[in-house]
Amino acid sequence: MFNQKNALISLAVTVFLAGCGGGGGSGTPSTASTTATTTTSSTGTTPATTTPTPTPTPAIVVDESLMAGFMVLVGNQMVINGMNDRAFNLDQFNDTTRSPAGAYSFAPSTNAPISSFALRLHPEGMDIPAGQTKLARLAFEIKDRAIGGVQALQVLIDQVEVSVSADNQFTVSVPATAKLYIYVNNRDGQSATLSVGSLAVDMVKIVAFAGDASSHVFTLNLEAAVSAALAGAQGDTAKLAVINSLKDFLGEFDASFTLANVTMHKDDGSPLVGPAITVIGSGHPPVVGGGVKGILNVEAH
């Protein structure tokens, strides 16, 4: 009976050890003891909501590289309203010691404060053997100098083709793909922004300077620019009224003109850097390059 009892105890121990994964360090671990178990709950789980990220408006990328050589501002002169016989130089344009200050006695145009603004230019060192062409940007602005004055006009043309051939022929044209951007703020504080395409071919042009065949009058036709804006604003009563108020702009204005991609020098050879002009609402980065700034007087005649 004793042996039978020992046999029963031995059997029980064997069964117990088998259930515990083996009886010593040399045993093989059971599969159940080494396999990780993952429990997934299928109740009470709400899928995460992903808010779509809005697609940003692509930034306007512009070519800011410079043409070879430079333009000389001949006589340091500007030509306003096409009046070659009354060209103003930089000293006069910035003269605050007289009254009226700056360039003066210009009558408003039909739809714009002045009909045109121009620089008297001559290319130097730009006649490289292969010739060269740039799609430049051009900007012009006037801001009321009166105390509390709010009148302002800003104009940007995003493509102006400037070319100088191997034999020094200087030409300018406005591509069919060019756009005009304009910002106006009138004396009542009302503002309007607008962009239009299909621009007039003479919106930017060069013409001969009277008495000097080597000078080119690089001209921004402001009357054509404002007329294009008026046509583009048809159907928008508020914008049309603000842009139409430009013909009533009178007084003393800070005036700036800048042409990108082109280096300019004064008559004495020193660099002529135009103010950086940012046209409100255009989405364009500032126009930087050669140019001028000064004071312009628009007077009722």
CB-count exposure of residue 6 (10 Å: 0-12, 13-18, 19+): exposed
Domain limits at 76?
A: 70-298
Cis peptide before 175 (omega within 30 of 0): no
Residue 137 token pair: 């940007």
- Label residue 167 left, alpha or beta by phi (over 0 means left) and psi (-120 to 50 means alpha): alpha
123-163 pLDDT, tens digit each: 999 999 999 999 999 999 999 999 888 999 999 999 999 99
Note whether residue 50 is domain-resident. no
Strand spans (E) along the chain: 70-80, 88-89, 103-106, 116-124, 132-144, 152-164, 170-173, 180-185, 191-196, 204-209, 212-221, 251-259, 264-265, 290-298
CB-count exposure of residue 139 (10 Å: 0-12, 13-18, 19+): buried
Note whether residue 15 is domain-resident. no
Average pLDDT over residues 158-187: 97
As a whole number of angstroms, the distance between CA 141 and CA 57 comes to 26
As a whole number of angstroms, the distance between CA 140 and CA 246 comes to 14
CB atoms within 10 A of CB 67: 20
As a whole number of angstroms, the distance between CA 234 and CA 241 comes to 10
Note whether residue 40 is domain-resident. no
Note whether residue 157 is domain-resident. yes
Closest listed residue to residue 119, CA positions, set 255, 229, 299, 223? 255
Least confident range from 7-21, 39-53, 156-170, 241-255: namely 7-21
Q: What is the pLDDT of residue 180?
A: 98
Q: What is the pLDDT of residue 54?
A: 67
As a whole number of angstroms, the distance between CA 172 and CA 155 comes to 18
Average pLDDT over residues 98-110: 92
Is a pLDDT exceeding 60 seen at residue 79? yes
Which residues, including other chains, have CB under 8 Å from residue 82's CB and lie 6 or more apart? 115, 116, 118, 219
Coil, helix or strand at residue 11: helix
25-61 pLDDT, tens digit each: 444 444 444 444 444 444 555 556 666 676 666 789 9
Banded pLDDT at 66 (limits 50, 70, 90): very high
Note whether residue 169 is domain-resident. yes
Note whether residue 178 is domain-resident. yes
> Per the structure, how many domains does the chain have?
1
Note whether residue 54 is domain-resident. no
pTM for the full predicted model: 0.81
